[in-house]
Amino acid sequence: MLEYISAPEAAKKWGISERRVQKLREENRIPGVAKFSRLWLIPKDAKKPADARTKALRTQKHE
């Protein structure tokens, strides 16, 4: 059985803001997310998605 954590718990675990976790969820970048009533649940063993914004910033600097 999968264990879940809340978005605020995932934010703390990954060292990012709760809003960033929400954006990652909206972009379907966290596999296995489930919604229970109004609460979004993140699989406890989910890995922090790579930050796609970083690559874009590096590309802009080289142009």
Tens digit of pLDDT per residue, the chain (63 long)? 679 999 999 999 999 999 999 999 999 999 999 998 999 999 999 999 887 766 655 555 555
pLDDT of 58 reads 55
Helix or strand run (H / E) with residue 21 = helix 18-26
Q: Which residue has the tokens 């954590």?
A: 5
pTM, two decimals, is 0.74
Counting Cα atoms < 13 Å in the Cβ hemisphere of 24 gives: 27
pLDDT of 50 reads 84
Both tokens assigned to 49: 């998605």
Say how many domains are in the chain: 1
Task: Write out the residue range of the structural domain in which residue 52 sits.
Answer: 4-62
pLDDT of 3 reads 94
Cα distances (Å, whole numbers) of residue 27 to 23, 33, 35: 6, 12, 15
